Chains A and B, each alone.
Chain A
Amino acid sequence: MRRCGHGVTRCCPWPLETALGGGPQKLHSDPVERIRSIGLVAGFDLLESLRSRKAIALLLLYLIASLGGAAIFIHVLGELRDRIAQEAGVMGAMATQALLRSEQLVELIGDLVGDEALARSLLSIPVLALFYGWFSMTFIPLLVILTSADSIASEIATGSARYALFRTDRLSWALGKLVGQLCLMTLGVVLGAAGAYALGLILYDGFAPGQTAWWIARLAARSIVYGFAYLGVALCASQLVRTRAMARALGLLLLFAVWLAGTLLRIPSLNEWSPQLVSAVRHLFPNAHSLDLWRPALLDRGVAMGALILIGLGFFALGFVRLHRRDA
């Protein structure tokens, strides 16, 4: 032991200059190793989520809601078909054909996708698949916020994040959580899709199994991309705060704020004020791109999906700036 010149008994019998080495450390940046870490964190996160009551309960609720919604929709379709059949004096397959050409169906699809002109271009898609697409895109944001908004905050709050955080860097860990929660959301979407398909198979007279399966799969993929934008919002909230309750509250608040901002920016009077600025700002919010996901042109859908992925990553990055700087 020896005394140093700092006023306290110093306890370093070795020359510190040697021990500390020289200069800032070069960061380790092997992309394969990073991807491996992300995969490990994602796999563990999914495993942990699937064994938790909360995730199972929410996925089941989503499945039940999907089944209930599909059942009601099939019932409404049946009523509509019967009414049209009665008015046109046709029966059986003819009645279904009449339904598919009817203005009432166009109106119904227009209500689902939010644009009547677009609805006419979607008439070739099985109506049950269209309903599924609407249901999924409407409720996936809420499912994502409820399942994922506390995924990082809860681990920080309980300290369990520490076991991983001295073994891998924060970016890999947070990205792993993002991928894990994306897998969980995908599972929810797939469960909902399978439920709606199974119900249609049993209850819907005009069910086209192959075509419906194809379209449900396509719309499920679009729902996942749409949900990813909200997953970014959820994980942004989760990285900003330290407690589970705060993360859930902030997640719901952000969901509402994002929806409200996207909706308000559609108001025509605002658009007149500065069309380019309003349009640019509006496209920073996920719901500005929801309509484009229904468009038949691949380019429109591709641009919308790319924008949604960027929005998701943008929100995630916003939260990560805070996570990166704070104590774990």
Chain B
Amino acid sequence: MKPALTIRGLRKRYGRTQALDGLDFAVPEGVICGLVGPNGAGKTTTFGVVGGLIRPDAGQVDVGGRGPHHARRDSGKMTMLPQDCELPPHVSPRQLLHYLARLQGMSAGQATRAADQRLEQVALSDRASSRVKELSHGMRRRVAVAQALLGDPEIVLLDEPTAGLDPALVVRMRELFVEQRGRRTLVISSHNLLELEATCDHVVFIEAGRCVRSGSLAEVTEQGVLMRYLVERTVELSALQQAEPELTFRWDKATLVVQAPSSWTASRMNATVVPQLMATEAGLLEIRQGRSLEDAYLAGAER
């Protein structure tokens, strides 16, 4: 799979703060990629540099094999939802989206249709003609998401897209993002790892301006070699360990975490572990493949 976005040796310093310190990563085409990192890790700066809004001190960015994003040449091929950016307050969402769609090269008719379609997708059709300043924070955020999905972009950068949205809307936005899988590449920066886990199929961990880990969600969460069994009661591990010496067993509270060599598959692990658990009084409640993204992230942070 060819990369939709490649970043190489990116450096950016703000005064004494080194925001990006030789950042390297690539995002495969058509995936939904989660950009994960603590506050100040450099996620927003990365988006700014990729979007051509922030000038890096060093390094290279390649978007879709065209080199760095050139706003006018590549208009509409890459869109983004910047973080904490106010929308123009005196116009309506429809006027704003129409204007931005036209800047992307659409005709007036196409822009009107695209604006109305996106407003409907973010459940704002009824407020399409209100002024932006009359909208709530959540509504403005939805307008911002709508502008990021205007047209047919190859790559969409979304910086904290669901911040400030109510739970129902978070689900709706997540569905909207998942619908885009395979049609375009989405790069989502978020602190909400549960949300990213439910949405993404590729992750990049950033810390102190460097990429510390990246890969498919399955790789990062070790879905092929790690199973988690939630049980009612913990049982002695020695019997399990003796029965299958190739596997490693440990308890994480009421969850039995089983690690296998890379040659094992999830179904083989289940076929081995589940009968043994059923034979005890553990009381199997739930089986999960791999570790959670949160665990994977925290494990990386501890390292």
Chain A positions within 8 Å of B, measured between CB atoms, are 1, 4, 6, 8-14, 16, 19-21, 24-25, 27-28, 33-34, 37, 40-41, 43-44, 47-48, 51-52, 155, 158-160, 162-170, 172, 325-328
Contact = CB atoms under 8 A, between A and B. Distances in A.
A11 B72 contact: no
A106 B292 CA distance: 88
A10 B91 contact: no
Contacts of A163: 82, 85, 87-88, 96, 100, 144, 147
Given A48-B91, A163-B82, A328-B53, A4 B24 contact: yes
A8 B214 CA distance: 11
B71 A166 contact: yes
Contacts of A52: 90
B8 to A, nearest CB: 5
Contacts of A48: 88, 90-91
Given A165-B53, A168-B71, A19 B65 contact: yes
Given A21-B65, A169-B72, A44 B91 contact: yes
A11 B214 contact: yes
Which of A19, A24, A41, A159 has the most CB atoms of chain B within a 10 A radius of its CB? A19
A47 B88 CA distance: 11
A90 to B, nearest CB: 56
Interchain residue pairs A-B with the least CB separation, the first 3: A159-B85, A11-B214, A28-B73
A12 B87 contact: no
A10 B26 CA distance: 9
A47 B91 contact: yes
B66 interface: yes
A166 B78 contact: yes
Given A19-B26, A160-B85, A166-B80, A37 B103 contact: yes
B51 interface: yes
A280 to B, nearest CB: 36
B52 interface: yes
B52 A327 contact: no
Contacts of A327: 48, 53-55
B130 interface: no
Contact of B6 (A19, A34, A158): A19
B239 to A, nearest CB: 35
Given A47-B91, A165-B53, A13 B26 contact: yes
Given A47-B91, A168-B75, A11 B82 contact: no
Given A11-B213, A19-B2, A44-B88, 10 more contacts: A10-B211, A11-B25, A25-B67, A37-B103, A44-B91, A160-B86, A165-B52, A166-B53, A167-B71, A169-B71
8 contacts: A11-B24, A11-B25, A19-B6, A25-B66, A160-B85, A166-B51, A168-B103, A327-B54
A20 B131 CA distance: 42
A34 B55 contact: no
B103 A14 contact: no
Given A21-B67, A25-B68, A168-B72, A11 B78 contact: no
A47 B94 CA distance: 13
B94 to A, nearest CB: 12
A1 B131 contact: no
Contacts of B144: 163
B82 A159 contact: yes
Interface in B51-83: 51-55, 60, 62, 65-73, 75-76, 78-80, 82
Among the interface residues B72, B90, B147, which one has the most CB atoms of the partner chain A within 10 A?
B72
A30 B69 CA distance: 17
B172 interface: no
A28 B219 CA distance: 40
Contacts of A155: 88
Nearest to B49: A327
Given A11-B26, A163-B87, A327-B48, A1 B104 contact: no
B102 interface: yes
A51 B69 contact: no
Interface in B12-34: 22, 24-26
A159 B211 contact: no
A326 B53 CA distance: 9
Q: A11, A19, A164: which has the most chain B beta carbons within 10 Å?
A: A11
B204 interface: yes
A325 B56 CA distance: 11
Contact of A40 (B67, B68, B91, B99): B99
Contacts of A328: 48, 53-54
Nearest to B23: A8
B283 interface: no
Given A25-B66, A166-B69, A167-B103, A1 B213 contact: yes
